[in-house]
Structure 1
């Protein structure tokens, strides 16, 4: 039986990975703080990676595969030092945000990376991931897969980004909805289930290398239209220019009072990374329409009018529409 250790395994992506490994017949151990249960059938080892010696309970065991998704470089460095010699293969889930240049369209895995984080630096997600990748390569070498995930989407997404659009159109119904002027801008996502399946596949095959695990780029306006159709929205689309939105404190990409997935015009390369390596090493992509449908079911279950981590409240959106229309 394949013995798999997941550093995490109780969160969103890591939980999907744990379940996928269990479905593949593996013996799965999740090392986590214990705030949430491990998936049914997995062993939970409670440990806090911020505390001294968190790997004591698993460091004497032999592993076929270890998966880590941490964005804390110091945690990753400590893990590969403690556990690297005990595993046949290591999969580190990184991010396409590691790249230094967001202007180059269609760049591949050889594109320059951001400067790695140094101990004591203020936390920076992309730089932490760059430093973590370096630790994995140094300690595990040709036994490692670096999976640079794109924007992960689908049911249960705790960031509320992708789901904002399909849920907002469903909530708006026959009423107007606000969209940004986004000519020339792109969107690029990957379903959490497709990503989890790929992480398991590279682990089972002990593939070594680096892959941008992300979907095919599509125009942002096309994505919005697909979300609108999935939700059955029949109201007016009210378009606002970026300058007007900025003046009214509406942010790009994510967070409260934002229009999620919408990028600044000076980042044309961010959502256009090539996924050729991902596809050539077995990665698959379901249609975005399928992910939108699954996400809408999840959004309805969670409440279309709930308070969100990302996006405008419906009240704020209607106030902005009234000002634009007035």
Structure 2
């Protein structure tokens, strides 16, 4: 098969391109190249999708499938217009952020979406879900449901995760900031977590293209409690020190944020409003062939990658060592 990856130089796109190549397909990546070049052995076409003529070279060829990970509705619209007559199918990697209800766990693809963004450009991550909805709509309007595969991904983790959400916990348990090995964790009973390994997501996207799959699918990791996720992270790190729990109120009172960003504890989300945000039903994708590896394997591999990584600038999620030490002291003081 002939794969055209729109992107292919950053984390997810590169992993998809590599998976397709390993399946024996002919792969081309179209990107600006700001995140680097395409993986070795893959054809790279330089093009800025925000500029006219970006698709000139690839629009002169025929493709079995186009794979797109964009968050910009204008980019999806221009790709659909340029490639609609040259591509047999189009796979769009969307997000669980498209759903309006974040409170109810276990919702499937029929759940209501947020409203679509009206413009071509997503100006802020505050409208990420709305932008992805607009991308989905523009794909379906151009390619139709029978030629479109929409993959609504859950939280992606694994080696290469520069968001720090999947790497923070195994690394923190491996390298505690506390002198006695203590690690501060959120104590949020009932909170569910799903992390899908980037390699499993990429492999299924390639498999689905081979199977000519169409439709809309949630693609998530197995659902576990946050406590279970932290226990796995601790196990793969070999941590034996104290685990210091703090409830949501205490964390908020001490200026610790949820999910990601500076001075945060990754994967923690406020209940009950976000009980379903990271707990969607991916049964349809699993019935269509999605297979996910054990969480322990993902976190162990991510820990190995983290220990070799040289971070570029501040971490995107988690606590600094100094913040962790100060918070542990405050927790001990009551």
Per the normalisation by structure 1, the TM-score is 0.96
1:197 paired with 2:198, answer no
Equivalences for residues 91-240 of structure 1 within 5 A: 91-119=91-119, 122-123=123-124, 124-141=127-144, 142-172=146-176, 175-240=181-246
Shift of 1:307: 4.2
Cα distance change on mapping 1:224 and 1:121 into 2, 3 Å: closer
Counterpart in the other structure of 2:37: 37
Task: Give 1:27 shift.
Answer: 1.1
Please list the CA deviations of residues 43-87 of structure 1 after superposition, one character each: whole Å capped at 9, or x if unmatched. 111111122221111111111110000011111111111112211
CA contact (8 A) 2:219 2:285 kept: yes
Tell me, in whole angstroms, the C-alpha distance in 1 between the residues paired with 2:270 and 2:50: 35
Cα shift at 1:249: 1.6
1:45-84 paired onto structure 2 within 5 Å: 45-84=45-84
Distance 1:118 1:149 in 2: 22
Conserved? CA contact 2:122–2:128, under 8 Å: no
- Asked if structure 1 preserves the Cα contact closer than 8 Å seen for 2:71 and 2:122, the reply is no
8 Å CA contact 2:190, 2:225 repeated in 1 = yes
Please state whether the residue corresponding to 2:262 is helix, strand or coil.
coil
Give me the whole-angstrom Cα distance separating, in 2, the residues matched to 1:121 and 1:219. Answer: 32
Runs of 4+ with deviation above 2 angstroms: 120-123
Kindly report the root-mean-square deviation, in angstroms, between the aligned alpha carbons of the 2 structures: 1.6
| In 2: Cα distance, 1:298 partner to 1:102 partner | 31
Find the counterpart in structure 1 of residue 251 from structure 2: 245
Q: Distance in 1 between matches of 2:300 and 2:166?
A: 12
Shift of 1:303: 5.6
1:301-312 correspondence runs (5 A): 301-302=308-309, 307-312=314-319
Deviation per CA, 1:220-256, whole angstroms, max 9, x where unpaired?
A: 0110011011101111111112122112221110111
For residues 121 and 14 of structure 1, do their structure 2 counterparts lie closer, same or farther at Cα, with a shift above 3 Å needed? closer
Between 1:120-129 and 1:176-185, the stretch displaced more is 120-129
Q: Which runs of 5+ in 1 are unaligned?
A: none
The CA distance in 1 between the partners of 2:62 and 2:171, in whole Å, is 45
Asked whether the equivalents of residues 307 and 313 of structure 1 are also in contact (C-alpha less than 8 Å), the reply is: no
What's the CA shift string for 1:180-210, capped at 9, x where partnerless? 1211111111000000001101111111111
Matched positions, count:
325
Superposed CA offset, 1:18-57 (max 9, x none): 0011111111110000221111111111111122221111
> C-alpha distance in 1, partners of 2:322/2:309?
19
5+ residue gaps in structure 2? Answer: none
1:280-324 CA distances to partner (integer Å, 9 max, x unpaired)?
Answer: 1010010001111111111111169x8422110111111111011
Q: Give me the whole-angstrom Cα distance separating, in 2, the residues matched to 1:162 and 1:246.
A: 22
Partner residue of 1:285 out of 289, 292, 296: 292
Compared with structure 1, are the counterparts of its residues 321 and 130 closer, same or farther at alpha carbon in structure 2 (3 Å cutoff)?
same
**1:294 aligned residue:** 301
Which position in structure 1 is the counterpart of 2:20?
21
Secondary structure, counterpart of 2:209 in structure 1: helix
Equivalent residue, structure 2, for 1:321: 328
